[in-house]
Amino acid sequence: MPEIRVRRSSSKHPKTMIRSVSDLNLEGKRVLCRVDFNVPQNSDGTIADDTRIAAAIPTIRNIIEKGGIPILMSHLGRPKGSPNPKYELASVALRLTELLQDVTVYFANDCIGEEAEKTVKNAKQGEAVLLQNLRFYAEEEANDTEFAKRLAALGDVYVNDAFGAAHRAHASTAGITEFFPERGAGLLMLKEIKYLGSVIGSPEHPLLAILGGAKVSGKIDVLSNLLDKCDVILIGGGMMFTFLKAMGGETGDSMVEDDRVAMARKILSEAKSKNVRLILPADTIASTEFSNDTERKTVDAEFIPDGWRGLDIGPKTAAIFRLEILAAKTIVWNGPMGVFEMSNFAAGTRSVAEAMAEATLNGSITIVGGGDSAAAMAQFGLSDTVSHVSTGGGASLEFLEGKTLPGVAALEY
Ligand code: AMP
């Protein structure tokens, strides 16, 4: 894979460069690789979804094929700086062994110190090591230099493939890079930068963004940034009601953020002045309670009766959104259209997911920006039907907000 050039706004640094793991000389080297094995767990601690482990396999294989020994490090959950059996990575090491099959994976029950050093030293070419949860040390999240140095002592070369953790300046994602003149991005990290970067860089137009999810407050920065780039923005999910209220609509008992109505009005007027078609739902599936088993009916989105709340986009909206999606060349989607976790309110989200799949078949670039929309794609069995599903919820949102991710910036030369 070629080097990725990242454009910076400063004229002093007009262009910087990130090297790919594929371009690094790894023969006989211990490759300290930050991965994102922060997998969802069941209540008994077993792995609920191994997507993130599977997503790191191409990079791990690439390192092994080039004669390097992958020394993998990750966080899991929020153990708040001390060891906690609930967040141990041992079960991840087992799953990794299953996925890698022919590669022996050694697990070190610490990420620094004697045990880590011994395990790393004993590993041979063709084998791999997984270190214990980085967040068992508070120094990880504090981006502590001494801790970063102790981690760095375990490898000759540094690779970061943890896009999902790249929006945090932690010891293993940021501080550590100063100890490695030889560093690069893993294949997953490069894929994320390529696809999400294609939205905010120079996308093929028309560029369409679909935004949903519970609240407008979490999406204001992404909306502001996308207003400068998109031709069309579709809004669904709980956040649509704040916009509908801003337009004078009757929202009944729907979720409305009253303190964001003025902001929604501002966004609507900015969209107009920037010639962005911002499309709100025409209808909604409303219910009398926040429950799957309650009375529901399709109502006009601007006239939701008192006592009723919108929990999904309606069929008319789904049809309009589908046509908009099929007319676009680049589509990015963040946030479900309704409460897709409840089967009676999942149709709108499913219909957007299916339209994304259709658009992909027509040759459009389709990107799902992690988090709940990625969970929805997985729930519908449609994850493989789009160009890219981001593995990072918060990181993909910050990327689309136009922010520099510390974990990406630290890889630059
Ligand atoms: P977010 O994390 O902001 O992307 O929000 C995702 C959550 O929004 C999901 O759990 C959905 O159930 C929820 N959601 C989507 N539409 C609605 C709605 N109309 N009313 C309440 N919650 C919603």
pLDDT digits (tens, 9 = 90+) for 11-65: 444 457 999 999 999 999 999 999 999 999 888 889 999 999 999 999 999 999 9
CA distances, 267 to each of 216, 243, 261, 344 (Å): 11, 9, 10, 31
Whose tokens are 């620094």? That residue is 112
Pairing of strands 15-18, 127-131: unpaired
- Residue 209 CA, ligand 1 centroid: distance in Å: 17
Q: Could you say which DSSP state residue 203 is in? A: P
CA 8 vs. chain centroid, Å, equals 22
**CA-nearest residue, atom 6 of ligand 1:** 213
| pLDDT of 45 | 84
Q: Could you identify the atom of ligand 1 that is nearest to the CA of residue 334?
A: 4
From the list 280, 359, 357, the residue with the least C-alpha distance to 327 is: 359
- Residue 316 burial (10 A CB sphere; 0-12, 13-18, 19+): middle
Distance CA 70, CA 62 (A): 10
Say what percent of the chain tops pLDDT 70. 96
| pLDDT of 370 | 78
**Model pTM?**
0.91
Q: Could you identify the atom of ligand 1 that is nearest to the CA of residue 373?
A: 4
Ligand 1 in reach of 214 Cβ (< 6 A):
yes
Distance CA 68, CA 27 (A): 5
- pLDDT tens digit string along 300-309? 999 999 999 9
Question: Domain spanning 4-187: which superfamily?
Answer: Phosphoglycerate kinase, N-terminal domain (3.40.50.1260)
Fold of 194-400: Rossmann fold (3.40.50)
- pLDDT tens digit string along 93-143? 999 999 999 999 999 999 999 999 999 999 999 999 999 999 999 999 999
Q: Is the pLDDT of residue 7 over 60?
A: no
Ligand 1 in reach of 255 Cβ (< 6 A):
yes
- Residue 380 CA, ligand 1 centroid: distance in Å: 17
CB atoms within 10 A of CB 155: 25
CA distances, 148 to each of 32, 172, 194 (Å): 12, 6, 28
Ligand 1 in reach of 252 Cβ (< 6 A):
no
Q: Is the pLDDT of residue 2 over 50?
A: no
Distance CA 172, CA 142 (A): 10
- Residue 122 CA, ligand 1 centroid: distance in Å: 48
**CA-nearest residue, atom 17 of ligand 1:** 238
Domain boundaries, the chain: 4-187, 194-400
Higher pLDDT, 202 or 151: 151
- pLDDT tens digit string along 145-164? 999 999 999 999 999 999 99
- Give backbone dihedrals phi and psi of 34, rounded to 5 degrees, phi first: -80, 120
| pLDDT of 3 | 54
Q: Which residues are catalytic?
A: 52, 215, 371, 394
Q: Which of 215, 372, 377, 396 should be mutated for ligand 1, with most atoms under 8 A from CB?
A: 372
- Residue 337 CA, ligand 1 centroid: distance in Å: 7
Residue 119: CB partners within 8 Å, gap ≥ 6?
Answer: 106, 107, 108, 129
From the list 337, 330, 343, 327, the residue with the least C-alpha distance to 379 is: 343
- Residue 241 CA, ligand 1 centroid: distance in Å: 12
The answer to whether 238 touches 214, Cβ cutoff 8 Å, is yes
| pLDDT of 5 | 58
Q: Could you identify the atom of ligand 1 that is nearest to the CA of residue 312?
A: 19
Q: Could you identify the atom of ligand 1 that is nearest to the CA of residue 219?
A: 3
